[in-house]
């Protein structure tokens, strides 16, 4: 069975900043049937804002960012959110990520900020860093 995941925005931005880390490796595996990403309109809008804010510093054109986001929208499973679980998490700005994970029945939230997602376990969702997630799916040891 293919794991269902939600990528936190910080993982996307880290992947765009460097091709050397686990975040980039996770992003490079999107759409390759190792896992399935789940998205929502608010989450994609957050991806867009954060990626475009960092674009100049990381040497990407806005068109490059749009192409990456278009790809994520094409291969990701869109989850309309009909209810709000807010507030649940210590950082209310992360509640929309949890909402996607709950709606999609995700196995994992992949983030660099594990502590921000304390409470996700109530929904049966495990929170992992990109490196730990890659280990879990058997990509790295």
Domain membership of residue 11 (yes or no) is yes
Q: What confidence score (pLDDT) does residue 88 get?
A: 78
Q: What confidence score (pLDDT) does residue 141 get?
A: 55
pTM of the model: 0.94
Domain membership of residue 58 (yes or no) is yes
Domain membership of residue 114 (yes or no) is yes
89 lies in which domain range? 4-136
Q: What is the pLDDT along the chain (141 residues), one digit of tens a residue?
A: 899 999 999 999 999 999 999 999 999 999 999 999 999 999 999 999 999 999 989 999 999 999 999 999 999 999 988 766 667 787 778 889 999 999 999 999 999 999 999 989 999 999 999 999 999 999 985
Domain membership of residue 108 (yes or no) is yes
Q: Cα(10)–Cα(2) distance, rounded to whole angstroms? A: 23
Burial (0-12, 13-18, 19+ Cβ within 10 Å), 123: middle
Question: Domain total for the chain?
Answer: 1
Domain membership of residue 56 (yes or no) is yes
Say if residue 87 is preceded by a cis peptide, omega within 30 of 0: yes
Residue 44: name the closest of 20, 14, 18, 79 by CA: 79
Q: What confidence score (pLDDT) does residue 85 get?
A: 64
Q: What confidence score (pLDDT) does residue 83 get?
A: 67
Domain CATH for 88: 3.40.50.1010
DSSP 2: P
User: What per-residue string of b and e applies to 31-67 under the rule 16 or more CB within 10 Å gives b?
Assistant: eeeebbbbbbeebbebbbebbeebbeeeebeeeebee
Domain membership of residue 141 (yes or no) is no
104 is written with which tokens?
A: 């999609």
Other Cβ atoms less than 10 A from the Cβ of 17: the count is: 16
Helix (H, G, I), strand (E, B) or coil at 14: helix
């Amino acid at each position: 069975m293919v794991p269902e995941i939600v990528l936190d925005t910080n993982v996307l931005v880290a992947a765009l900043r460097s091709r050397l880390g686990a975040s980039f490796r996770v992003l490079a595996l999107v759409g390759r049937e190792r896992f399935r990403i789940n998205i929502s309109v608010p989450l994609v809008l957050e991806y867009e804002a954060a990626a475009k804010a960092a674009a100049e510093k990381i040497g990407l054109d806005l068109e490059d960012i749009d192409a990456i986001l278009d790809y994520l929208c094409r291969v990701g499973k869109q989850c309309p959110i009909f209810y709000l679980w807010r507030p649940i998490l210590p950082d209310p700005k992360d509640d929309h990520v949890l909402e996607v994970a709950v709606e999609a029945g995700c196995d994992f939230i992949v983030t660099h900020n594990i502590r921000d997602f304390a409470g996700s376990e109530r929904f049966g969702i495990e929170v992992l860093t990109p490196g730990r997630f890659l280990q879990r799916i058997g990509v790295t040891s």
